Amino acid sequence: MSARQRLGIGGVQNHPEQLISFYQEINAKGSLILSDKRVTSLRIIHFPDPRLRKRCAPVEHFDAELAALAARMLELMREDKGVGLAAPQVGINRRIFVCNVTGEPADDMVLANPELTDLTGDEIGEEGCLSIPDVHVQMRRAKECVLTARDLKGNPIRLKGVDLAARCWQHECDHLNGKLIIDHMSEADKIANRKQLKKLESDFKNK
């Protein structure tokens, strides 16, 4: 999800301390892991790349490669000033996403095999997507939800999110099922984004 949402800061409750410390551990070893060429060559792919439309497979191995993938995704998310990035957005067909809704490094989160439950309330808000640059869509989302997932070690995580965190998790989980914000455009959104979507389509064709 793109950074404009940062304006509407929400909160992540019950943030797992162990996840933060594990990410710091990865960071400490980062230069070693990230020297893997396959990981450092990953880039954010753009609509209409068909890899964004696939349903992703569960993460099965919680190993150094997964940690390197997550570290690279966090790096790319930060470079593009995003608040969330899912693996299919770097061309990897696995159920994992990273997010950070505050911009504070300590709030980096990595969530594998996520499931959303207890979706309550609803709220319309503008969303962008790092794979669909300069496109903004008014999206109706649950205001609160519970996310269960695995951390990089495969340990279970259960978090409650409200506002921006809940919105971000719903957006990223959609990516893992091949869904994009442009699937939900109103007539007004279609008109406002038509030129930019055409540009992205022609950029992809001419790549």
Rounded CA gap, 160 and 51, in Å? 30
60, 126, 172, 201: the catalytic one is 172
Handedness of CA 160, 161, 167, 172 (dihedral sign): negative
Q: Which is nearer to Ni ion, 30 or 141 (CB)?
A: 141
Q: Which is nearer to Ni ion, 44 or 67 (CB)?
A: 44
Q: Which is nearer to Ni ion, 33 or 73 (CB)?
A: 73
Give the number of residues in contact with Ni ion, rule: CB under 5 A: 1
Count Cβ neighbours within 10 Å for each residue of 176-207 and write b for 16 or more, e otherwise: bebebbbeebeeebeeebeeebeebeeeeeee
Cβ-closest residue to Ni ion? 129
CB of 88 to Ni ion, least distance (A): 9
Q: Give, in order, the Cα–Cα distances in Å from 12 to each of 8, 54, 66, 103.
A: 13, 28, 23, 13
Give me the half-sphere count of Cα atoms (radius 13 Å) on the Cβ side of residue 3: 9
Residue type, 160: K
CB of 112 to Ni ion, least distance (A): 17
- Whether 127 is catalytic is no
Rounded CA gap, 118 and 46, in Å? 31
CB of 180 to Ni ion, least distance (A): 7
Rounded CA gap, 33 and 51, in Å? 25
DSSP code of 77? H
CB of 1 to Ni ion, least distance (A): 5
Q: Which is nearer to Ni ion, 33 or 142 (CB)?
A: 142
Tally of CB atoms within 10 A around 161: 25
Site for Ni ion in 91-150 (CB under 5 A): 129
The verdict on 69 binding Ni ion (CB under 5 A) reads no
CB of 160 to Ni ion, least distance (A): 22
List the catalytic residues: 172
| Binding residues for Ni ion (CB under 5 A) | 129
